[in-house]
Amino acid sequence: MQSVRVKIGKDGRINIPVAYRDILHLETGEEILLSIQDGELRICPLKQAIKRAQNLVRRFNTKQLSLTKELSKLRVEDHSDE
């Protein structure tokens, strides 16, 4: 998709064109993450960032452990030392 020229409005607001919002499946009021990479402003839907993080964790969780249960066990062990 080609670059689109937009202006920064009042209070630093920018308008994301409909075609771009459609591609990213962005809805009104949805949270996004902004980052600066290589001098560029990048916009990532929060749900996409969460999926990316989950996939990263999944790659290292080769035993397919319940990470919630593992964390709970660690907390119990930490409190038993007190």
Is position 4 within any domain? no
Pick from 25, 17, 14: nearest CA to 1 = 17
* Domain range enclosing 34: 10-80
45: part of which helix (H) or strand (E)? strand 40-45
- Rounded CA separation 62/66 (Å): 11
pLDDT in tens, the chain (82 residues): 789 999 999 999 999 999 999 999 999 999 999 999 999 999 999 999 999 998 888 888 777 777 777 778 888 877 776 6
> What CATH number corresponds to the domain at position 65?
2.10.260
Give the Cβ contact number of residue 58 at 10 Å.
Answer: 11
Q: Is the pTM of this model over 0.85?
A: no
Please give the DSSP secondary-structure letter assigned to residue 30: -
Yes or no: say if 45 and 26 are a contact pair by the CB < 8 Å rule.
yes
Instruction: Identify whether 41 is part of a domain.
Output: yes
Number of domains in the chain: 1
Residue 63 within any structural domain of the chain:
yes
Within a domain: 5: no
